Amino acid sequence: MLILECPYCGVKAEETELHAGGEAHLKRFGPGSSDDDFHDYLFMRENPKGVHFERWRHINGCGKWFHAARCTMTLEVFGTYSAQTYEPPQDIRDAISAKRPDWSWREFK
Amino acid sequence: MSDPVSALNGAAFSGMASVTEGGLAGMITLRGDLSSAKLKDAVKSATGAAMPVSGKVELSEDGGLCWMSPDELLVLVRYEEVEAKLAEINAGLKGEHALAANVSDARAVFRVSGEGAREVLAKLCPVDMSVDAFVPGQFRRTRMAQVAAAFWLDHDETFHIVCFRSVADYVFTLLSTAAQPQSEVGVY
C-alpha cells in the first residue's frame, strides 16, 4: 500500500484516494518542435528500479495535482512536493541522498 | 413551484449506529482566494462562522464553512435561505476573482451517530477514524467505497456526510450495510 501525504491539504492519503499521473517534470515539445523531440516527449519514459519521480492527483480529496518522489522497488516515499515547480526541490533531493547516496534520475542527481 | 424533496426523503436505518438521511440542506460551493479579506468577510456575514483552517469545519448556529481545498469552501446555510445567501456572498465578492454556486440540489446529506459510528465509517473510507486521530470539528474529503464523499464530526459524536445526490441511494445502502447489528469489528 502506497501512502502519500498531499502537500496541499496535509492528508495522508492512501493509493485509492489518489490518481496516478505518470512521470514528473516532462518538458513539452509541441508544434514547431522536431519530430525526434516530439517522439521522445510522447513516448520515452523512465522505468527505473529505484528512485522515481511521479505526478499524482488527490482526486478523492482536494483535487490538486502534486509531485512525489519514491522508490519503485521498496515503495519507500522520500517526500511529496508542490506541482508548481520544474524540478525536485533541494529538501527532497537531500532526503533521497540521505538514503540512496548514488541516486540519479534523468538529469537530476 | 413544486415542493423540493431530498434524495431519500429522510430514510433511516438503525443498527450498530443509526443512519439518517439529513433532508434538505443549503450548500454553496465557493472558489476563490481563501486568504482574501473580502472573501472572509463575505462568508462570515453569510454564515456567522469564522474561516476554517485546512481540514476543518467551522459551524455556527444555522450555517457553517467547510475547508474543501486550498481555494475552495463549502458554505452551509439553511435550504430556504440559499438563494438569498448566494446573492449576499456574490455582492460581497464584487470585483474579486471568485465563483459561488448553489449546489444544494446536487447533494445529499447523511447523519451517522451512535457507538458504532466511527466503525461504520472506518469500514468504508481509507481514513484513520480513531478517537485521537479524528476529532470533532475535523472535515475530510475522501472516498466512500466507490464514490466521493466528505464528512465532518460534530461535538455530539455525530458524523455528517455529504455526497452527490445521484449516489445517495448507494451511499445509504453502504452505510446501512456497514451498520448491520452484530457486525462490529471492535477496533474503536
- pLDDT tens by residue, A22-62: 999 999 999 999 999 999 999 999 999 999 999 999 999 99
pLDDT of residue B186: 87
CA distances in angstroms from A36 to A29, A47, A86, B55, listed in the order given: 10, 20, 22, 46
Alpha carbon distance B4, B31 (integer Å): 26
Identity of residue B164: F
Given pLDDT bands bounded at 50, 70 and 90, which one contains residue A109? confident
pLDDT of residue A62: 94
Nearest to A69 by CA among A85, A81, A84: A81
B169 secondary structure, DSSP code? H
On whether residue A38 sits in a domain, the answer given is yes
Alpha carbon distance B32, B96 (integer Å): 8
Give yes or no: residues B62 and B110 share one domain. Answer: no
Closest residue, chain A, to B53 (C-alpha): A9
On whether residue A76 sits in a domain, the answer given is yes
Residue written as cell 461504520?
B120
Domain that holds residue B170: 12-23+106-178
Give yes or no: residues B97 and B37 share one domain. Answer: yes
On whether residue A63 sits in a domain, the answer given is yes
Question: A60, B143: Cβ pair inside 8 Å?
Answer: yes
Give yes or no: residues B16 and B48 share one domain. Answer: no
Looking at the DSSP assignment, which residues form a beta bridge with residue B81?
Answer: none
Instruction: Indicate the helix (H) or strand (E) that contains B92.
Output: helix B82-92
Given pLDDT bands bounded at 50, 70 and 90, which one contains residue A107? confident
Question: A61, B141: Cβ pair inside 8 Å?
Answer: yes
On whether residue A108 sits in a domain, the answer given is no
Question: B69, A11: Cβ pair inside 8 Å?
Answer: no
The total domain count for chain A is 1
Q: Name the residue with higher pLDDT: A109 or B81.
A: B81
- pLDDT tens by residue, B62-117: 899 999 999 999 999 999 999 999 999 999 999 999 999 999 999 999 999 999 99
pLDDT of residue B1: 67
On whether residue A105 sits in a domain, the answer given is no
Q: Does B130 touch chain A (CB under 8 A)?
A: no
pLDDT of residue B21: 96
pLDDT of B160 over the 70 cut = yes
- pLDDT tens by residue, B102-146: 999 999 999 999 999 999 999 999 999 999 999 999 999 999 999
Q: Where are the beta strands (DSSP E) in chain B?
A: 12-14, 18-21, 26-31, 57-60, 63-69, 72-77, 99-102, 107-113, 139-144, 147-153, 159-164
Domain that holds residue A40: 3-99
Nearest to B27 by CA among B71, B66, B69, B56: B66
**C-alpha distance from A59 to closest chain B C-alpha (Å):** 9
The total domain count for chain B is 2
Residues of chain A in contact with residue B128, where contact means CB-CB under 8 angstroms, are 12
Residues of chain B in contact with residue A62, where contact means CB-CB under 8 angstroms, are 68-70, 72, 141
Identity of residue B151: F
Closest partner CB to A62 (pick from B68, B128, B143): B68
- pLDDT tens by residue, B51-64: 999 999 999 988 99
CA distances in angstroms from A76 to A3, A5, A8, A42, listed in the order given: 9, 13, 20, 28
On whether residue B81 sits in a domain, the answer given is yes
pLDDT of residue B187: 87
ipTM: 0.87
Residues of chain B in contact with residue A11, where contact means CB-CB under 8 angstroms, are 55, 140
- pLDDT tens by residue, B166-182: 999 999 999 999 999 99
**C-alpha distance from A4 to closest chain B C-alpha (Å):** 12
CA atoms within 13 A on the CB side of B57: 26
Alpha carbon distance B176, B20 (integer Å): 9
The C-alpha cell that represents B135 in the structure block? 476529532
Neighbours of B35 (CB within 10 A): 10
CATH number of the domain at B95, please: 3.30.70.1520
pLDDT of residue B75: 96
- With 0-12 / 13-18 / 19 or more C-beta atoms within 10 angstroms meaning exposed / middle / buried, residue A28 is exposed
Closest residue, chain A, to B55 (C-alpha): A9
- pLDDT tens by residue, B8-27: 999 999 999 999 999 999 99
The contact set of A with B (CB < 8 A) is 8-14, 16-17, 60-64
